[in-house]
Structure formats: structure tokens, C-alpha cells
Chain A
Amino acid sequence: MTAGASGAAARRPGSHPAGGPGADVLLPVPGEPTVSFSISFAAGSQDDPPGKEGLAYLTGLMLAEAATERHSYEEILAALYPLASAYGVRVDKERTTLTGRTHLDNVDRYVPLLTDAYLRPAFDRRDFERLKSDAINDIENTLRYASDEELAKAALDAFVFADTRYAHQPEGTVQGLRSITLDDVREFYRRRFVRQNVAIGIAGGFDDALAERMRRTRGELPSGDSAEPPPITPAPIERNEVLLIDKPGADASISFGFPIDVARGDRDFYALAVACSWLGEHRQQVGRLFQVIREIRGLNYGDYAYIEAFPGGGERRMPPVNVPRRARLFEVWIRTLPNEQAHFALRAALREIERLTAHGMQHEDFELTRTFLAKYSLHYAETTARRLGYAMDDRFYGLDAEGHLERFRRMMRELTLDDVNAAIERHLAGRRFKLAIVTGTAERLGSALAAGSPSPIDYATPKPQHVLDEDREIAAYPLPIDADAIRLLPVEQAFER
């Protein structure tokens, strides 16, 4: 099954570089007292040269958190301060996006600062040293030691996309970051931040003059190449494979999944969105995984399923914008739980997925979920800045005529149960998984997984008989994993190179 088979043959996400005449996104909201900006470049971590993982990320930071030719970073902070405005950057695998928002009163003071950031970066050495050392610290200390859930998610992504340009996280690796020089950053900027690669978005209470002023900045960028990036083709997963990140003292945080070949715009994407929401809408209690693992058994704080990348899930309730990708996973996130319950929770989750793929969604669940999503998706873009983010992502996915959110709501009306169950069958059924688990008991968990031994759990307090009966089935649920398909990675080596 390919994306083309579900009606998207004319379009390849991300295959046309953002830019060129007409690529701008204008989203006027008359009467709104603020203006939101989004400047997106076809420059992402997939463009990092081997050995320089983190180059796009550092370059993005050198635009958004450093000096320009006109002002030191300190002067920029001082100038933005009274406006209560800032601009920030998200560097993802495909795109570097600068975003910001200011009050209409302050547009004339804000816009020159914002546009200088991408037109006239100074690449100051002191800024570079600061940002590089922060970026290394973020991996060495924060990612490895202070956020097990994000670590497991990032590790899964790297595990699945190994040997592709998506293999390393956008923030790079410790060794990659260490090897990057200021000249590397200058060169990356020179090559990628060209007029053919930019899309400019503006939303809110702006007028024509401001729109024109923003658009004109494209012409100030140099002309350059916009080479099409090579395809992202993750290796097929032939058997279940496990990466155990050995972190002494840690509880267990689990992410697992496999690649799926669907994208925004495909009918199957929306059909899978229904199935995935039923299984585990992010931060919602209705999902099946949440019910089984948290609501009934109280094992952890939450359990969710995804068909698109969702970085920073611990902090955000709604999907991110500016994370457009050409390749993606079906992914399950099991939040931190005691190590001794990890095997059980994993079985419980996999068993639910198997039940879904074996029996399909039931009519009542389907109706409820699509009704839910038709309205819940209003929350995906509550603010003008987020609507702008979705519109910019629509450019990436080639959804110019009908945007993703509009299409999403239409699909919630049009899809049938058969559509959803067919999509489940095509994309989720009979698949093998890659699993990434951060745990303080890697050896023991690894042995238990390889042995496939039963994983009964005890409760501090009595549970109803039907729960205990189901527990027995879960505890013995077959989860075939070969001993040689389990790899242990000491946490201090995670994202090292």
C-alpha cells in the first residue's frame, strides 16, 4: 500500500520546496490586535552532513537567539523586551521555522528585528559558543537524565529511522555538535537559506503594506539551489526488536511503533486518525489504552497512540505545528511506570492493538470517535498563530486547495466504518514493532522479554474478578522477542554519535 493508492498520486509531501511566487500564506483576521509571523525554510536536520549532526539546529539557534549585523543579541533582547514579544525557532527534520507574534502597536519596532534575524545574522562567535554548549548540555544532562519519556520517544525515532536521513534527532548528537564550527554554520546558512527555500506566512490584524513588506524580504535572500532531498525509506521490521536504555535508578518509560506509509491528505490518513484516536488520543481519558492501563489498573499517568510525530508530549496538549515530515510512525507512548510492571503494560498495549487489528473498530466506537474528532479538532488550532502553523504545514503537504484541518472535519463526516477498518487492515495489521524502553532494570527486563515468561502483576488493593481474569490473559499474552533482537544501550551513550 502506498500513499498514491489512496488518492494522492499527484502530490508528494515536501517534494516541492516551499517558495517561489505565490508560496506565501496570508491569513487576515480583521480586528485582531496582534500579528503572527512564520518564516519557514526548507532546511532541516535531514540536511546535516554526516558527522555534523545538529548543524541545522545550531544554525536555527544562531538566527533566533543570537546577534544580527545590526544588533548584538543583548541589544535585541532589550529592544524586544518592552514589546513583550520575541521570535523563536523550531528546527525539525525537514524545516527550520522562525515564528513570532507582536501587538499591532509595536509592528514597526518588531518587524526589522525579526527580518534581520533571517536576512542578516551576524554569526557572532560568543553567541555560537553559548548556544553550542547549551545544545550539548541539553543532550548530556536534560535528555539523558531529566526526561525519560522524551528520551524513549527520541530513541524510538532513531531506532526506526536508522540508516536514513531521519536517523538522528533534530537537536543532533553530542559528537556531531562538538565537531560543528562556526564556518560550518555559515556555510549551511549560505546553502540552505535561499529565496527558493523560503515560505513566508503572516496572520492576524495586518494590513497590505505589512504583508508586502514581509514578502519583499524574500528578494533580499540570495538565490541558490533547492535540491530535492533523498527519499526516507526505513528498513522493514521483520521481527520485534527492542532497544533497552539502561539508566540505573530509572522507572520504565516505553515507546514503540513502526513506520506507516500515509500522510495528511490521504483518505487513509484520516481513517487511521479515527482508529488512533479511539486507541489513545493524546492526553484524553477516553482512549482504550488509557482505560486499560491507567483507568482500570492505575499503573501510570497516561497511555496514548499517534500517527504523526508529537515531540514534547509531556508539555503540550494539542499536536505541534511546524513539524512536517515525509515519513512517519504509528507510535504508542506508555508513560512512566514501575519497572516490574513494564512487561505487563507492554503486553496490555500490544494486546489491544492486536484486538483492534483482528476485529476492527466497532460501529458504536467509530460513530463516537468521529463525532468527537469533528469538534475536538477545533482545539487543534484555537489561536491565529496555530492556524498559521497549520496553513504553513499545508504548503509542505501540498494541500493548497483544502487545508488539513478543513479536510479533517470533512473526512469525519464522510468516512465510513469500512474505510476505517480497511485502513487498519492495510496499515496496522500483522506488523512487527520496534520498542524503545528506558529502564533501571534493563538486564532483568531484557531477560524476561527474551524468555517470554508470564508477567503477572499484584495490586496493593483488591480488583474486581473480571479485571483479574483479564490480567491473566494479559500476563500470558504472547510477545515473541528473540534474545538477539534485544540491545542494551547505556544511557550515557544515547545520542552520543
Chain B
Amino acid sequence: MTGIIPYPAHVDVLDNGLKAVVMPMPSNGLVAYWTIVRTGSRDEYEEGRTGFAHFFEHMMFRGTERYPTERYQRILTEIGADANAFTTDDLTAYHVSLAAEDLETVMELESDRFRNLAYSPADFETEAGAVYGEYRKSRTDPLFTLYEAVVETAFDVHPYGHTTMGYEADIAAMPGLYDYSREFFTRYYRPDNTILFVAGEVDPGRVFEQVERRYADWAPGYIPPPIPPEPEQRAERRIDVEYDGRTLPIVWLAYKIGAFDPGDARQVALDLLAELAFGETSEAYRRLVLDEQVVEFLAAGAGWNRDPGLLDVYARIKDPDKVDYVIEALDEAASRHRAVPPALDELAALKSRIRYGFLMAFETADRAAQRVARPLAICGGLGGLEALHTAYAGIAPDDVQAAAETFLRSERRTVGMLRGRR
């Protein structure tokens, strides 16, 4: 075993391009079986098709000829598995947590639906209603409402400009897109665009045998989407959002950054910068949250994305009259980090935090999967995650300052302000 991941991973790639990553680890008799499709709302480049990756995730539970929904559900029920899925910008993950002795049963079901999904137009239309319900539930959250507006403002052409839920008008039009849904499946749900991650009390050799047996006849043919590159942003953008309800004001600063790249020190340093500048031991946090108490909540993070994405900073402000004051204070934090490298002991504390946070995350097979799914999807393997942690160790204070100089600039950012109805 080398590197940061506490358990060794075994990898096999089928001729059709399907990659299987198996991580044996103690897990109280449970196994995590994840099917990670490297497609998300990023791939929704066509007009009127936003939200489709997420909608399609729902359709994957609508059965095949061999295992219609009821039979699929019944089998999962009989084995007491916990099965669900989620969609993000860069990936869609289908996850099952199961007792180790039921692994073959789950592989039979999962391999079948990924190869042979079949659903009726009626099922398709019904599911569109459930997706609309999910949107309704989400939009009562002011943070979601603001986020939706910020990304739309920040991106001119790249699909990162809409959330994974999609635009409401597109969600409303979904029931009429049955044919497109079949095309979506044909384009993206292919072995050469999919990674299996299996963790827990399993034997890698036996898993690989099963993968070969059950997935080898899945035809490759992934068609990469022609995603338009986002032109460089040259001036600050602002968006004011009125929330239909009461809320404290929320400010969201979204800085354009590069794509996930463990080989680029400035990009790696961004993860550290976000924490050092705005995390809970930062000067800004101390001042705004603890001392002056003008901010209720402050958080920041640099996105790990396949294409250039965003470093987000957001704060919920207690006093509506202090909004500009808080933005100025956050600006001061940014300019301080552009001007001065962080202290060595601060950087060391953060590196320790990242390391222990990572080690403690491998608590169960399912949590291990949650931790690795995104880097696995973005990089196509676990190498990117290992490389990232190696790169963290080598980041010097000057790298953090250089990252701030490059990225924490007002011309690269969108400022979103949400206020509630008075």
C-alpha cells in the first residue's frame, strides 16, 4: 500500500472500456457497489435539455424487460439492500449498500439495467412529475435559489451555468422528451463512460470474474458531448436575487478557477486557499462570525470539476444593513492573501486537517465510495486522488499566494446577493 488511501485498490478494465475498481476493507459484512457514469449536468449542452442527466437518473429505476421495476425492487427488498442514486455536474452515481453475500444478486440486477434499460412512455411521463416535485422541494431553500442565479450569471455558454435540477421551464417540458431520453441513454450510458467501484469484504479476483461475465457484452460507443468552452471572464458580474419568502441576506462570491488538475500547483493550492482565507480558523471567520457577529455562517470551497469551474465563498449575514460591509471584509481577506503568503504553521495545521479528515472518512465501505466517487469520475481512476494528496504535501506558502494572485480577482468573479421579502 502506498499513498494516502488506507486500503489498496485493485483495478481491471474490460475490452469494452468498463473499468472496475475494487477496494477490500473491513466493513461489518457490508459491501458498497457503485456504478459511476461520467456524465452529469455538464453534458446538457443542448437548448431545452437542462436537468436531463438528473431526470435520467430517475428513469434508471424504471426497469428492464427481464427485471421490470417491481421485480427489481422486490429483489432489492428481499436482500435488504439500500439503493439510491444522485446526480451532480460531472457525474451520476448509482449506489447500493448490501450484505456481502448478496453481491452476485446485485451485480446481476445492476449489469442488467445498465445494458437493457426499457421503460414505457407512460412511466417516463409519470417520473417527470416526481422530478418536478423534487424541484419544488429544492426551491424553498434560499441557498439553492441564489446558487441557481449565480451560476447562470457566471457562465455564458458552458453548461455549468445551470444547476443539476435544470431550469424550471425545461423540467416542465420533460414529459414530451421520451425519444430524447432514449438517445441520452445511447450516447452516455456506455461502458467506456462508466466506472464500477466496489468496496468492503470482497475478493477482487472473484469480483473481476463476475464483472467480466456480466458486463463484457455491453457495447461501447460513448459519444463525448461537444461542450462549448467558457470564454474568459474579464469583468466582475453582479446579480441581485429576490427570494420569495423571508431569509437573512446571503452573499455568494464565485471566482472562476481552472479544472481539477493535481499536476498544477496553483490549482491544488486553491483548495488550501479557500480554507485559509475563509475557513473556521481564518481571520475573516474570526472577525465576522466570532468577534463582530455580523455573519451567521461563512463557508468556502474550490470545486473539483472536469472543466474550469468556481471557487465559492458564501456568507449569511445577520444584519441586512451590513451586506456591503461584509463584502468589503471578504474582499480584504482576498487581498490579504494576494499580498502575503500564509504562515507556515497555519498551512501545516490545514495539511494535517486534510490528512486526518481523509483517513477518518474511510469508516465504512459506503463512506469510502462517497469519498472517492468524484475524483474517480473526473480523472477516470484513483491516481488523481493520490496525486492530489501528494501535491498537497508539497504546497508552499508562496503557492497559496500565487493561487490567490491568479484567481481571487474581482474581474474573475460573480457577486450574488439574495434578499428576502421584507
Enumerate chain A interface residues (CB-CB to B < 8 A). 31, 33-34, 73-74, 77-78, 81-85, 101-103, 105-106, 126, 129-130, 133-134, 137, 140-141, 144-149, 247, 249-251, 283-286, 294-301, 314, 317, 335-338, 368-369, 371-379, 382-384, 459-464, 492
Tell me which residues across on chain A come within 8 A of B77, comparing CB atoms.
286, 368-369, 371-372
Kindly identify which residue among B30, B142, B353 contacts A382, using a CB–CB cutoff of 8 Å. Answer: B30
Smallest CB gap from B290: residue in A: A74
Closest Cβ of chain A: how far from B369's Cβ, in Å? 12
B74 within 8 A of A: yes
Task: Name the residue on B nearest A381 (C-beta).
Answer: B28
| A145 vs B418: C-alpha distance when bound (angstroms) | 14
**Other 10 A-B pairs with CB < 8 A, given A145-B140, A299-B133:** A77-B280, A78-B281, A81-B350, A81-B353, A84-B357, A126-B290, A297-B129, A371-B77, A379-B82, A383-B367
- The interface of chain B, by Cβ under 8 A from chain A, is 6, 26-30, 61, 69, 73-74, 76-82, 84, 97, 99, 102, 122, 125-130, 133-134, 136-137, 140-143, 175, 244-248, 280-281, 286, 289-291, 293, 296, 318, 348-350, 352-357, 359-360, 363-364, 366-367, 420
Smallest CB-CB separation from B98: which chain A residue? A375
The answer to whether A146 and B142 touch across the interface, beta carbons within 8 angstroms, is: yes
Instruction: Using CB atoms, name the residue of chain B closest to A247.
Output: B245
In the complex, the answer to whether B420 meets A145 with C-beta atoms within 8 Å is: yes
Inter-chain contact B129/A460, CB cutoff 8 Å: yes
A202 to chain B: closest CB distance in Å?
16
Could you list 13 A-B pairs, sorted by A, with CB under 8 Å?
A77-B281, A83-B356, A146-B247, A147-B140, A249-B245, A250-B140, A301-B137, A336-B140, A368-B78, A377-B80, A378-B99, A379-B97, A383-B364
- Most chain A beta-carbon contacts within 10 A, residue among B99, B128, B140, B357: B140
Residue ID in chain B nearest A373 by CB atoms: B80
Give min CB distance, A385 to chain B, whole Å.
8
Q: B130 and A294: CB pair below 8 A?
A: yes
Residues of B within 8 A of A84 (CB): 352-357, 360
Query: Do B360 and A375 touch across chains, with their CB atoms under 8 A apart?
Result: no
Separation in Å of the A403 CB from the closest CB of chain B? 15
Q: How many Å lie between the Cα of A492 and that of B360 in the bound state? A: 42
Inter-subunit contact A34/B73 (CB<8 Å): no
The chain B residue sitting closest to A283, CB to CB, is: B84
**B78 cross-chain contacts in A, Cβ below 8 A:** 368, 371-372
Determine the chain B residues whose CB is within 8 A of the CB of A377 once the complex forms: 80
User: Chain B contacts of A283 at CB under 8 A?
Assistant: 84
Residues of chain B contacted by A379 (CB below 8 angstroms): 30, 80, 82, 97
**Pairwise interchain contact A301-B363, C-beta atoms closer than 8 A:** no
**B6, B350, B356: the one within 8 Å of A106 (CB):** B356
Shortest CB-to-CB span from A223 to chain B, Å, is 35
The 6 nearest A-B residue pairs measured at CB: A375-B80, A298-B129, A84-B357, A376-B80, A82-B352, A84-B356
Contact with B175, one of A81, A144, A460 (Cβ below 8 angstroms): A460
Other-chain residue from B141, B175, B349 in contact with A147 (beta carbon distance below 8 A):
B141
B176 to chain A, nearest CB (A): 9
Contact call A382/B366, Cβ cutoff below 8 A:
yes
Contact of A299 with B129 in the complex, beta carbons under 8 Å: yes
A133 to B294, CA, bound (A): 10
Q: Which of A141, A299, A378 contacts B246 (CB 8 A)?
A: A141
Q: Tell me which residues across on chain A come within 8 A of B142, comparing CB atoms.
A: 145-146
Chain A residues near B246 (CB, 8 Å)?
Answer: 140-141, 144-145, 492
CA distance A83 to B78 in the complex (A): 41
User: Would you call B293 and A133 a contact (CB within 8 A)?
Assistant: yes
Option from A85, A314, A464 in Cβ contact (under 8 Å) with B356:
A85
Q: Is the CB of B175 within 8 A of A337?
A: no
Given A375-B80, A379-B97: A148 and B140 interface contact (C-beta under 8 Å): yes
Q: Which secondary structure characterizes the binding site on chain B?
A: helix
Closest B-chain residue to A300, C-beta based? B133
Is the pair A145, B245 in contact by a Cβ cutoff of 8 Å? Answer: yes
Assess the B357–A317 pair: CB atoms within 8 A.
no
Q: A34-B363, A301-B137 are in contact. Are A130 and B290 (CB under 8 A)?
A: yes
Task: Check if A81 sits within 8 Å of B281, measured CB to CB.
Answer: yes
Residues of B within 8 A of A130 (CB): 289-290, 293
Whether A83 contacts B359 by the Cβ 8 Å rule is no
Contacts of A78 in B (CB 8 A): 281, 349
Question: How many angstroms from the CA of A106 to the CA of B247 in the assembled complex?
Answer: 40
A297 CA to B354 CA, complexed, in Å: 46
Tell me the bound Cα distance from A134 to B318 in angstroms: 9
**Closest residue to B364 on the A side, CB-wise?**
A382
Residues of A within 8 Å of B356, CB to CB, are 82-85, 103, 105-106
**Residues in A neighbouring B281, C-beta threshold 8 A:** 77-78, 81
- From the candidates B6, B82, B129, B248, name the one contacting A376 in the complex (CB within 8 A): B82
- How far is the CB of B81 from the nearest CB of chain A, in Å? 8
Residues of A near B122 (CB, < 8 A) are 461-464
A460 touches B247 (CB 8 A): no
Q: From A77, A145, A285, A371, name the one whose CB has the most chain B CB atoms within 10 angstroms.
A: A145
| Complex interface: chain B residues within 8 A of A337 (CB) | 133, 136
Least Cβ–Cβ distance between B124 and chain A, in angstroms: 9
Nearest-CB residue, chain B, relative to A318: B82
Complex Cα distance, B286 from A73, in Å, reads 10
CA distance A317 to B82 in the complex (A): 9
B136 in contact with A251 (CB, 8 Å) = yes
- For B349, the closest partner residue in chain A by CB is A82
Contacts of B81 in A (CB 8 A): 375-376
Q: How far is the CA of A488 from the CA of B66 in the complex (A)?
A: 51
Q: Across the interface, do A301 and B318 meet the contact criterion of CB distance under 8 Å?
A: no
A208 to B137, CA, bound (A): 48
Report the minimum CB–CB distance from B95 to chain A (whole Å): 11
Kindly provide the distance from the CB of A364 to the nearest chain B CB, expressed in whole angstroms.
Answer: 10
Closest chain A CB from B274 CB (angstroms): 14
Known: A301-B130, A461-B125. A83 touches B352 (CB 8 A): yes
Provide the residues of chain A in CB contact with B280, threshold 8 Å: 77, 81
Question: Please, how many angstroms separate the alpha-carbon atoms of A442 and B269 in the complex?
Answer: 52
CB B31 to nearest CB in A, in angstroms, measures 11
Q: Which residue of B lies closest to A298 (CB)?
A: B129
CB-based contact A83/B353 at 8 Å? yes
A-chain residues with CB within 8 Å of residue B26 when the two chains form the complex: 31
In the complex, residue of chain A having the shortest beta-carbon distance to the beta carbon of B62? A295
Choice from B27, B130, B353, B359 contacting A298 with Cβ under 8 Å: B130
Residues of B within 8 A of A103 (CB): 356, 359-360
CB distance from A362 to the nearest CB of B (A): 14
Closest A residue, CB atoms, query B348? A82
Chain B nearest CB, measured from A37 CB (Å) = 14
- Alpha-carbon distance between A487 and B143 when the two chains are bound, in angstroms: 31
The minimal Cβ–Cβ distance linking A33 to chain B, given in whole angstroms, is 7
Closest residue to A31 on the B side, CB-wise?
Answer: B26
In the complex, A300→B126 CA distance in Å? Answer: 10
Contact in complex: A378, B28 (CB < 8 Å): yes
Q: What distance in Å separates the Cβ of B17 from its nearest Cβ neighbour in chain A?
A: 31
A397 CA / B99 CA spacing, docked (Å): 28
A103 to B318, CA, bound (A): 35
Name the one of B80, B84, B244, B360 contacting A34, with C-beta atoms under 8 angstroms. Answer: B360
Q: Which residue of A lies closest to B72 (CB)?
A: A285
Are B126 and A81 within 8 A (Cβ)?
A: no
User: Could you say which residues of chain B place their CB within 8 Å of the CB of A382?
Assistant: 27-28, 30, 97, 364, 366
Report how far A88 CA is from B64 CA in the complex, Å. Answer: 45
Please, how many angstroms separate the alpha-carbon atoms of A298 and B128 in the complex? 7
Task: Determine whether the beta carbon of A82 is less than 8 Å from that of B137.
Answer: no
Of A146, A247, A368, which one neighbours B74 at CB under 8 angstroms? A368
Determine how close the nearest CB of chain A comes to the CB of B370; give it in whole angstroms.
12
A384 to B29, CA, bound (A): 13
- Complex CA–CA separation, A294 to B78 (angstroms): 21
Contact A298 B61 (CB under 8 A): no
Q: Does the CB pair A141–B133 fall under 8 Å? A: no
Chain B residues, Cβ within 8 Å of A145 = 140, 142, 245-247, 420
Inter-chain CA distance A375–B102, complex, in Å, is 11
- Among residues of B, the one whose C-beta sits closest to the C-beta of A385 is B363
| Contact across chains for B126 and A301 when beta carbons are under 8 A apart | no
- CB-CB < 8 A to A81: which residues of B? 280-281, 349-350, 353
